[in-house]
Amino acid sequence: MHLHGVVNKLLRALSLGLGLEENEVREALGGEELIYLLKINYYPPCPRPDLALGVVAHTDMSGITILVPNDVQGLQVFRDGHWYDVEYIPNALIIHIGDQLEVVSNGKYKAVLHRSTVNKEKTRISWPVFVEPPEDKEVGPHPKLVTNENPAKYNTKTYQEYKHRKLNKLLNNLKLPYISKTINNL
Ligand SMILES: O=C(O)CCC(=O)C(=O)O
């Protein structure tokens, strides 16, 4: 319940930041149907951290992500051609803008490209909670943010379709067309 309060507060502020009513971004992402998906990443020590990554560079498919890491440095974000370490601050929450919020905001908020590195001696753990629309929710640029001068930069599609397309692209880039085909047939 505490996390719901934090998310609602963030979504209200992000909505006002777009010039919308405070509930409009939350509604555009699914309102009461929003899904909270907890993942636990466990990165054991790695003898050659220079050769490995914990998680490869990506943006989250979610609306927003709330992440808590342990005190082992590892998260990096990409900006202006450089990777930057995200400093560990005790008790701080790390908030990522995800793809769905980029879409709803019609590109005003950018999904953050990030990755995680591994440590030679220490185990790193992180607990992201992905705050996502339900699969059948159609997500597109908020109508109030689309005008003749500022046309829609993204197509509207269900979250399920968005996920399928993104996973397909990733698998094709990894040259795994068989898995990609299987996902398509699900
Ligand atoms: O471990 C981290 O800090 C990042 C994890 C992450 O990006 C992910 O699980 O999608």
Summarize the confidence of residues 108-134 as an average pLDDT: 97
Per-position DSSP letters for 147-180, written without gaps between them: -SSS--SS--EEHHHHHHHHHHHHHHHTT-HHHH
Model pLDDT, residue 182: 63
Can 166 be counted among the known catalytic residues? Answer: no
Ligand 1 surroundings by CB, under 6 angstroms: 39, 41, 54-55, 60, 67, 69, 74-75, 114, 116, 126, 128
Report the CATH number at residue 7: 2.60.120.330
Q: Measure the CA–CA gap between 127 and 114, rounded to whole angstroms.
A: 15
Residue that has been written with the tokens 């689309």 in this structure: 146
- Residue-range definition of the domain harbouring residue 113: 1-184
CB distance 132 to 100 below 8 Å = yes
For atom 3 of ligand 1, the residue with the nearest CA is 75
DSSP of 17-57, one letter per residue?
HTTS-TTHHHHHHTGGG-EEEE--EEE---S-TTT--SEEE
Number of domains making up the chain: 1
Tell me if 75 sits within 8 A of 86, measured CB to CB.
yes
2 DSSP assignment = H
pLDDT at 185: 62
Confidence category of residue 107, pLDDT binned at 50, 70, 90: very high
Per-residue pLDDT tens over the stretch 39-97: 999 999 999 999 999 999 999 999 999 999 999 999 999 999 999 999 999 999 999 99
Separation between Cα atoms, residue 41 and residue 69, nearest integer Å: 9
Rounded to a whole number, what is the distance in angstroms from the first to the last CA of the chain? 33
How many angstroms separate the alpha carbon of residue 167 from the centre of ligand 1? 17
Crossing angle of helices 177-184 and 159-173, rounded to 10°: 160
Nearest-atom index, ligand 1, CA of 65: 10
How far does the centroid of ligand 1 lie from the alpha carbon of residue 141, in Å?
26
pLDDT for 23: 98
Taking the centre of ligand 1 as the mean of its atom positions, its distance from the CA of residue 25, in whole angstroms, is 24
